[in-house]
Chain A
Amino acid sequence: MHTIEQSIRSKRQSGSPAVIPYLTCGFPTREALRSQIEQLAPLSAVIELGVAFSDPMADGVTIQRSSAVALQQQASLDWLLTELKGIRSACPLAIMSYLNPLLTISAGTLGLRLKDANIAGLIIPDLPLEESAPLREEMASLGIALIQMVTPATPMERAKMIASRSGGFLYAVTSMGVTGGSAGAASSSGGASGQSLDAVGSYLAGLRAISPVPVAAGFGIRTREQVRSLQPHADALIVGSALIEAIEKGQSPGEFIRGLIG
């Protein structure tokens, strides 16, 4: 069993919600990264480390904002991978990056650099299954999971194929649209079609029935109530924009996540 999968399953068995917080690395400053990871790791099944990109087309306004700040702070994939060599995390780390920053590291070297930085998984929002074979093979040989996404628009047959090739966990996008909407409630941002909680629950149940790896729900999870009601339906819950907004307000990441799962 992959270390990410193991971490999610053991969190679940201990009875506490398995959360996967997302950070835009370099937001609000590059220096904040170490403390953010140290605070979040004991509370988390996995931490998603976001690499800022100039054109985040799958992200809503919150992550667009944090990405712009991180870029102003000179955050880059190269900086992040160097920085991580000196940081010990109590939970597995996954990189979330759009494809283009990853292409700056030559093929054959990327995997080794990820390995050196203790990265256990990779999420690439603009790399669909059809384009992912070469990368998956390279990562598999190093034990790094390539985590694939499914959405409510993905037909079940296709979801099955994606789940069978996803490493670590299956990233289940719970609402159509960009990040930062609201799952299980009428959406208020970006024109995203809000799914009812029942619809999200049965969508997740369908995925868990076919997925050999844990199913993590993401996009629009922001309140303690949502965590309570979604927890039975998913193996893990991904919290992104809401955490970034908390950091923007000056809250510490650890405090925010404790409030969400406590």
Chain B
Amino acid sequence: MTSMSASGKSGTMNANATSANLVVPRELNWPPRSEADQAAELAKLLRGEYPDSNGRYGPFGGRFVPETLMGAVTRLETVAREALQDMSFLATLESEGREWIGRRTPMMKAKNLSAAWGINLWLKREDLAHTGAHKINNALGQGLLAKRLGVKRIIAETGAGQHGVATAAACARLGFPCRVYMGATDVQRQAPNVQRMKWLGAEVVPVTSGDQTLRAAIDEALRDWVSDPMGTHYLLGSAVGPHPFPWLVRTFQSVIGRESRQQMLEQAQRLPDAVFSCVGGGSNAIGMFHGFLADASVKIFGVEAGGRGDTPGEHSSTITHGRPGVLHGCYSYLLQDQNGQVSDSHSVSAGLDYPGVGPEHSFLSDVGRVSYVQAGDEEALAAVKDCCRMEGILPALEPSHALAAAKNFGKANPGATVLVNLCGRGDKDMPILMKVLS
């Protein structure tokens, strides 16, 4: 079991830090060394200057894809920028969000967990969104974009199956044929979601190559996309991949942070002292964090999966243990060996079991705005139990990592007001819970 480090990684200079290389210009002088330099970089992000015209957040991000896909990613950015200026697109997004997804999702005071953990714990209930997780926000947004792109079919990857279910649902609603790539290991451990996808009309393709988890599913979805880049939309669900995906996913997930900030002010009459979200690729986290990045008083924590320990292959703590590299089209922190081969990762949670991380998270770590900490398998499972028994909510294994980290935070900060993004419900985890908890 991994314990949570007190301060996380942010603000510390370590041997893994970025330096100039083939894709990072020396002039960039990355990472920023002084607090003033870090603040200046964060200010650029808050002013909307990142991602820049090359899709970079500082050195991170970019478009490291085969030439075959350049036309498709360029067209996607153009169409997305137009759509996001178009009142009718935004109105449809809003009304579908309200009527079909059930936004806005509630904010809830977790009274019993608060008492047990010695903090004031608030939960953003993304588990109550249609299909049971935040993934639907992005699936709807990109599904509507796919209409404007004029593509004939949609493909997606999925880890825990939440993004696959969300994409299958959006495709059913919008009338697209849908194919979902899912690692064979994940097909086993998230069986209920596989059936749901099929009921929603999607074809589920188990991926037996590579590590047979989320990473292999993305590899396979990219291989599908290169065979028909203009007729197919790849509806990527994590905040990873080539530009414009990390930006697009953030844009559609930012509703979480916007609503949360407002609800905290309405219901708690204050901003939280600390915000926690789990980070695999980092889609729920980036959406939540954007609501609070400008509030200097709010500490922000991204919680990576500590798995079974710090040995390579036993965890999915990319920012904690990785060094920057290129996987799936973007430059970001990456779990890799000394030869640049991507390492296998592990987490009890399929949605966090990924050796990469969204480029904007790498940026937020390097500029010191977000601390990336760990919670291990055992801690997450304990949090599932606590949340079930005390609040009557079965949380997904992914946000249970955020709950565990919030609990740890409470030990050093009793009485703190803490917000956790409960980004999905745990019904899909029943097979694995029955295996490990009984």
Contact = CB atoms under 8 A, between A and B. Distances in A.
B330 to A, nearest CB: 10
15 contacts: A55-B210, A55-B219, A64-B209, A98-B326, A100-B325, A100-B327, A100-B336, A103-B326, A126-B326, A129-B70, A131-B63, A176-B68, A176-B229, A191-B224, A191-B228
Contact of B66 (A76, A78, A102, A125): A125
A99 B326 contact: yes
A192 to B, nearest CB: 5
B229 A77 contact: no
B239 interface: no
B230 A153 contact: yes
B359 to A, nearest CB: 13
A193 B228 contact: yes
A29 B376 CA distance: 39
Nearest to A135: B22
Nearest to B344: A54
A110 interface: yes
A103 B21 CA distance: 7
Contact of B64 (A99, A149, A151, A173): A99
B22 A128 contact: no
Nearest to A133: B25
Contact of B63 (A76, A130, A192): A130
Nearest to A187: B227
Q: Which 9 A-B pairs have the closest CB atoms?
A: A177-B227, A101-B340, A76-B339, A104-B340, A54-B341, A100-B340, A54-B342, A57-B222, A151-B68
A151 B69 CA distance: 9
Interface in A84-120: 98-104, 106-107, 110
Interface in B229-278: 229-230
Interface string B58-69: 000011111110
B144 to A, nearest CB: 24
Contacts of B66: 57-58, 125-126, 128, 149, 151
Contacts of B352: none
B246 to A, nearest CB: 15
Interface of B: 19-23, 25-26, 54, 62-68, 70-71, 209-210, 215, 219, 222-224, 226-230, 324-329, 334, 336, 338-342
Given A102-B22, A131-B62, A193 B227 contact: yes
Contact of A77 (B19, B71, B324, B340): B340
* Interface residues on chain A, size class: 35 or more
A128 B67 contact: yes
Given A57-B219, A58-B226, A100 B63 contact: no
Nearest to A139: B22
A177 B225 CA distance: 8
Given A64-B209, A130-B63, A134-B22, 11 more contacts: A54-B342, A57-B223, A100-B336, A101-B339, A128-B67, A131-B62, A131-B64, A134-B23, A153-B68, A154-B71, A177-B227
A212 interface: no
B339 A99 contact: no
Given A55-B219, A103-B22, A177-B226, A149 B338 contact: no
Contacts of A71: 341
B336 A57 contact: no
A55 B64 contact: no
A55 B22 contact: no
A178 B54 contact: no
A102 B340 contact: yes
A145 interface: no
B23 A99 contact: yes
Nearest to B54: A130
Contacts of B339: 76-78, 101, 104
Nearest to B342: A54
B227 A131 contact: no
A56 to B, nearest CB: 8
Contacts of A176: 68, 226-229
Contacts of A154: 67, 70-71
A155 B341 contact: no
A206 interface: no
Of B222, B226, B334, B342, which is in contact with the most chain A CB atoms at under 10 Å from its CB? B226
Nearest to B336: A100
B328 A55 contact: yes
A149 B67 contact: yes
A37 interface: no
Nearest to B56: A131
Nearest to A127: B64
A217 to B, nearest CB: 14
Contacts of B222: 57
Quick one: which of B25, B224, B227, B336 has the most chain A CB within 10 A? Answer: B227
Contacts of A192: 227
Contact of A128 (B63, B215, B228): B63
B354 to A, nearest CB: 12
A242 interface: no
